[in-house]
A and B are shown apart, each in its own frame.
Chain A
Amino acid sequence: GAGVSQSPSNKVTEKGKDVELRCDPISGHTALYWYRQSLGQGLEFLIYFQGNSAPDKSGLPSDRFSAERTGGSVSTLTIQRTQQEDSAVYLCASSLLSGTAGNTIYFGEGSWLTVV
């Protein structure tokens, strides 16, 4: 597709269950970012993938959170043993990284996660 695609758009899960959120970046974009935004709050950086380099995981809030990026394209954010405080919209973004517009990042519409 033309833009960053995220799925599911909405997810309601029970406390303690695991969830997987998927991101399809813009074709050809080498960088991929995950952010989290709780209701009424700012964007919280989670993890960043840059080509084949080791990801920057400095924003992951706990070891319940992990992310993979397979084949340099699709990424999956996994939250294990979900807690109510994990309820938020999870935003994925991608960028080219090269060229004068390389650091322009483009966001998907997010995956809304509600833990009940």
Chain B
Amino acid sequence: DAKTTQPPSMDCAEGRAANLPCNHSTISGNEYVYWYRQIHSQGPQYIIHGLKNNETNEMASLIITEDRKSSTLILPHATLRDTAVYYCIVRVAEGGNQFYFGTGTSLTVIP
């Protein structure tokens, strides 16, 4: 699986959009971008994934650049409960083996 690079930490004001970047310059054509988050050492929570088109669900939006070498997770209106570590992972959609989570971005939402 391709490796990802994320900033170690970010702050965001409550109510503002949180934009979390991820670089995955070695991504392959059949690899998807997945985002997870982990709050207080609870089990990581799935957020969203996509291949090349932008995706949106009730939690977030995922913007993938045209060359697919980077992406941005957007939390449109950050709340204090969004404070967590966010992981960007590149994976094939089917099969494969273990997920490698990396170190992620620690997002702190500030009141």
Contacts and interface: CB of A to CB of B under 8 A. Distances in A.
Interface residues of A, number: 30
A39 B40 CA distance: 10
A100 interface: yes
A83 interface: no
A89 interface: yes
Dominant secondary structure of chain A at its interface with chain B? loop
Interface residues of B, number: 24
Contacts of B38: 43
Contact of A48 (B32, B91, B97): B97
Contacts of A105: 46, 99
14 contacts: A43-B38, A56-B98, A93-B43, A93-B99, A97-B94, A98-B94, A100-B93, A102-B94, A103-B32, A103-B96, A103-B99, A105-B99, A106-B46, A107-B44
Given A102-B94, A103-B96, 7 more contacts: A42-B104, A43-B44, A45-B99, A56-B98, A93-B99, A107-B43, A109-B42
